[in-house]
Structures are given as structure tokens and as C-alpha cells.
Structure 1
Amino acid sequence: IPRNVLTICLGKSTYARCGIIVNVTPLEPEWEGHVTLEFSNTTPLPAKIYANEGVAQVIFIESDEVCETSYKDRGGKYQGQKGVTPPKI
């Protein structure tokens, strides 16, 4: 993500209406790696999510200025992650 861009990932409403919720934290300026999406099934019923179905959308917000301290500057613990990455608590 460029130093002057912040992204926000939002779940699609069709899946939310079925009880499937997407939770992704914002991708901060200078974050780099593979995005890990988290899904929650809020119903007691099993659910299937198929590839290429468009379960979420990413909104890119560009600033006229760069941030003072980026995710990379802070040494973010998920910087450079590859593949699905479990939580680092």
C-alpha cells in the first residue's frame, strides 16, 4: 500500500444477509503482504463460500499528504506475511 493510501475492506451485503460477516482491519500505509480475510458465520447453519464470488470489496482512500508513521515504520507484526497467517498475540 503506498505511503499516502489507506484501504478499508468491507463485506458485501448479500453475504451479510445470509449471516456471513467479513472482518478485515484497514490495510495501513506501507503495509505489504498477502491479505488474510476472516469470515464469521453468525447462524447455526453450515455455509459455503465459493472462489471468485466477490465476498468483500476494498476501498482505497488517497491522501494529498503522506502519513507521518507508516505500518512499515512501526515494524507491524503482519508486514510481509505470505499466505494465511494466524494471529500473533
Structure 2
Amino acid sequence: MQHSASPSDGFEVVAVASSAGGINGLITLLGGLDAALPVPVLSVQHLDPRHRTVIADVLSRRTPLTVKLAEDHEQTRGTAARWT
């Protein structure tokens, strides 16, 4: 997938949200993004708090992007936006 947006175009992040059933769509979307994407991708996914999640492991096997779970008060690279 080609992209033409860069931080200088005013885009600081790409954000996407999906319901618990949206994992396949998220896999398709993230799998189509280039590792050289110049902005971070923030994904919000409904998770069951009673179970340990493996979503980062699943997604990291299907996209060239670096995948990790957000941590409390963590900031995205290059911005002052907070993940919540």
C-alpha cells in the first residue's frame, strides 16, 4: 500500500478502533501498511479484562509494523498525545 501523507502534511498519528469481532479487519489493515509509515498507528480494540491478551503477538506476526500494547501515560513518538 502506498501512502503520501507525512508528518509535515499535518498528520501526527493514524487511529483506528474496532470491536471484539474486528480483529480480522485490523489484521487486513495493518498487514497492508508499509513499515516505513512515517506516523504511529494507534489501535483501540475491545478486550476482555478477565483474560490475558495476545493481540500484540497476533498482530506482530501479520504486519511489518512494530506492535506493542500501550502503557499508562505512554506518549507516541514525536507528539505530545497520550494514549488512553
Q: What interval of TM-score do these two structures reach, taking the shorter chain for normalisation?
A: under 0.3
Superposition TM-score, scaled by structure 1 size: 0.26
Larger radius of gyration: 1
With the length of structure 2 as denominator, give the TM-score of the two structures: 0.27
Greater helix proportion: 2
